[in-house]
Amino acid sequence: MTAIFNFQSLLSVLLLTVCTCTYIHRQFPALFDKRKEGVTTVFWKCARIGERASPYISLFCVFMALRLMLGSS
């Protein structure tokens, strides 16, 4: 089953995308410039979400890790 059809997997993929884009944007700020068009704009928006919603993103990461550790069905 792909991540599109499984809600928990979809949330994991979105969370990992936001976290990865935020980390890359902090290391290489010019890589995701907001004036670019195309796919990099999506990555820039994910990085911006990660920067501005940082406490909520980290809490969601902890929640997903606990859910995976406890073995969700």
Please tell me the predicted confidence (pLDDT) of residue 3.
57
Owner of token pair 């935020």: 22
Please tell me the predicted confidence (pLDDT) of residue 10.
82
Please tell me the predicted confidence (pLDDT) of residue 13.
85
Mean pLDDT of successive 10-residue segments in the chain (73 residues)? 71 87 88 77 88 85 80 60
> How big, in percent rounded to 5, are the helix, strand and coil portions of the chain?
70, 0, 30
Count, residues in the chain: 73
Please tell me the predicted confidence (pLDDT) of residue 4.
66
Residue 56: what residue type?
Y
